[in-house]
Chains A and B, each alone.
Chain A
Amino acid sequence: MKNKLNMRWTLVLLLTPLAAITAGPLEAADLNLLGSNGPPVDFHGFASQGFLASTSYNYLGDTTRGSFKFTEAGLNATVDPLPRTRISAQAFTFDVGQAGDYDVVLDYAQVQYTFTEWLGIRAGRIRRPEGIFNEVQDLDMAYPWVVVPQGVCNSRWRDMYLSVDGGELFGTIPMKTAGSLSYELYYGFQRPQLDGGFAIQKENLPPDLKVAWINSPLLGGGQLWWNAPWNGLRAGVALNVDQDLTFVNVEGRRSDGSPFTQRYSLEYFWKSWTFQAEYFTSRVLYQNTGGGAPDSVKLIDPDGWFASATYRFNKWFETGAYYTEYYPDKHDRNGAALAAHSDGYQKDAALALEFDAASWWTFKIEGHHINGTGQLFDNTDNPARGGNGWWMLGVKTTLSF
């Protein structure tokens, strides 16, 4: 515990002067590491520290007592060594409740070559494009929320969702008066971790579901955005499918499945307003074998959505609200088949205020009213769950350069 507190303060102490030094002219973060005639290496970084407190249930940490286990930090570098060629990488560490634990991971490390505006290729560890938040959920400055809408973007599943080791094609196809079409098509290995969100979620289920081994499945998918010809509107669809996600529980029982996920997104900038909405659904039929039990199949079929509106008053203040719902099984939206019916849904209304003290320093405060317990995860910490509404307060500050 003491080490983790030290880690938090080390991040803050390292990044505060760095952000302050580079905050004015951003080119101060450009370094000529490759010689005075070489291309500059562009450095950027961020560190966020949050606090969450809730009534009734522990959510995203031990929040009923108030939790500071809500930290994110990243440092990236980008260089264009040759024409049309870019190399970039980012190291990232986070701690959210039981997930993360300050392990430093390579978020992305990629080489890309852009043939033309409508065709480029990217290879290495690449960020996985999926909807509005997936690529940028680490990046607190990219949205006014303390907690991104969990109905469509679970903060604890980063190991499963953020990156793949492989490659992708990308580009933007102009369509004259019809706007343009931006696409990314990717294929590669996912790297779920035994201490990551996916495994932890299973760990909070009955003991026989604890994960002892998990594979690195191949994942293929794509993200398509239609950029409307009038300013500020875009609509997207993302599809992806795993090729045989496999995990084995502590009793030797093996589960094989190929989750297929669909996501539909809408975003509109109008004057000082930003409107966003997204729906996702995922379906997987697990084949369960071995472990001394009869073979069986289990359908996992969740869905979720959110809609939000934000308004920026001036360069300092922005406010916004969102509503999000998540259903672990969309065929049982009331949780009728579950011992605790409220585990069948989670509905969250949030109201947020952001204060940008400087371009490099942001404060946020956010209130939530939540119905249901379908995304608590930490069910050993929440043994009695019911359908009454509960409240959560979030506060967060971020330094970036």
Chain B
Amino acid sequence: MSPTHKFMKPISLQIALVCAALLAGALRAAPMEGFVVIANKDVPAASLSAAALKDIYTGKTAYWEGGQSVAIVLMADGNDAALKEASGMDASQFRTFWQRLVFSGRGQLPKKAEDAASLVALVAATRGAIALAPAEAALDGVKTIEIK
């Protein structure tokens, strides 16, 4: 074996590095298509990472910076794909997950709105509120949160 060979990465290590890079890419959340993240104007955050958004939707982050409690608002139907992307759970799993938190004293149940207009109105009226809104909805009285 020539002296240069000991500085070359073995082929198995190279394959592992490629796989790790692909996995890291797969783990990074894709931007939400057709939905925007909106929040009450009092919410201090202007942007969130996908991981921080997931922490909110899985109850791990319960307060905004400053101490205001996070209030998740859901649309009754039609945002399952966005919810799955934000939380990693489908609508049924998400409901069960939050019921488990609420009835063991560890969280507050997300509020529910019937349609996009009432979702936006509820977020505008609720301190600390955050929601996934259809991109085409009129976003009056709320702020949008950039997902990085």
Nearest Cβ distance between residue B104 and chain A, in whole angstroms?
4
- Is the pair B96, A117 in contact by a Cβ cutoff of 8 Å? no
Contact between B93 and A318 (Cβ–Cβ < 8 Å)?
no
Size of the chain B interface, CB-CB below 8 angstroms: 36
Q: Which of A183-241 contact B (CB under 8 A)?
A: 227, 229-232
Nearest CB on B from A38, distance (A): 12
Say whether A246 faces chain B, with CB atoms less than 8 Å apart: no
A residues at B contact (CB < 8 Å) = 24-27, 30, 42, 44, 46, 74, 76, 78, 80, 82-84, 86, 88-90, 108, 110, 114, 117, 126-127, 135-136, 138-139, 141-143, 172, 174, 177, 180, 182, 227, 229-232, 269, 271-272, 274, 312, 315, 318, 359, 400
Neighbouring B residues of A108 by C-beta, 8 Å: 104-105
Bound-complex Cα distance A229 to B55 (A):
12
- Contact across chains for B96 and A26 when beta carbons are under 8 A apart: no
Q: Quick one: closest B residue to A76, CB to CB?
A: B103
17 other A-B residue contacts (CB within 8 Å) besides A83-B66, A86-B69, A90-B105: A24-B112, A24-B114, A27-B112, A78-B108, A80-B69, A83-B67, A108-B104, A108-B105, A114-B63, A127-B106, A135-B106, A139-B100, A141-B99, A142-B100, A231-B89, A312-B93, A359-B95
- Asked whether A44 and B105 contact (CB < 8 A) given A83-B67, A182-B60, A359-B95, the answer is no
- What are the residues of chain B within 8 A of A74 when measuring CB–CB? 103
Residues of A within 8 A of B24 (CB): 177
| In the complex, B81 has a CB within 8 A of chain A | no
Residues of B within 8 A of A318 (CB): 92
CB distance from B58 to the nearest CB of A (A): 8
Of B55, B68, B100, B103, the residue contacting A90 (CB under 8 A) is B103
In the complex, what's the smallest C-beta–C-beta distance from A158 to chain B, in angstroms? 13
CB distance A117 to B93 under 8 Å?
no
Q: Is the CB of A117 within 8 A of B61?
A: yes
Instruction: A80 to B126: give the CA distance in the assembly, Å.
Output: 14
Instruction: Give chain B residues whose Cβ lies under 8 Å from the Cβ of A272.
Output: 90, 92
In the complex the two chains form, is B104's CB within 8 Å of A136's CB? yes
Cα-based distance from A221 to B103 in the complex (angstroms): 21
Mark out the residues of chain B between 19 and 36 whose CB falls within 8 Å of any chain A CB in the assembled complex.
24, 27
Q: Assess whether A136 is in contact with B103, with CB atoms less than 8 Å apart.
A: yes
Closest 9 A-B residue pairs measured CB to CB?
A83-B67, A231-B88, A135-B104, A172-B60, A88-B105, A84-B67, A139-B103, A127-B104, A27-B111
For this complex, 17 residue pairs linking A to B, each with C-beta atoms less than 8 Å apart, are A24-B114, A25-B112, A26-B112, A27-B111, A44-B103, A74-B103, A84-B67, A90-B105, A108-B104, A136-B100, A139-B99, A141-B99, A174-B55, A177-B27, A269-B93, A318-B92, A400-B99
The distance from the CB of A306 to the nearest CB of chain B, in whole angstroms, is 17
Alpha-carbon distance A24/B115, docked complex (angstroms): 12
**Mask: chain B, 55-86; 1 = CB below 8 Å from A; 0 = not:** 10010111100111100000000000000000
Chain B, Cβ-Cβ closest to A170: B106
Neighbour of B103 across the interface among A24, A138, A227, A315, CB < 8 A:
A138
Contacts A78-B105, A359-B95 given: A135-B100 contact, CB under 8 Å?
A: yes
Task: Find the residue from A80, A114, A318 having the highest chain B CB count within 10 A.
Answer: A80
Q: Is the CB of B88 within 8 A of A269?
A: yes
Determine the distance from Cα of A231 to Cα of B97 in the docked complex, in whole angstroms: 14
Query: Which of chain B's residues have a CB closer than 8 A to the CB of A143?
Result: 96
Contacts of A117 in B (CB 8 A): 55, 60-61
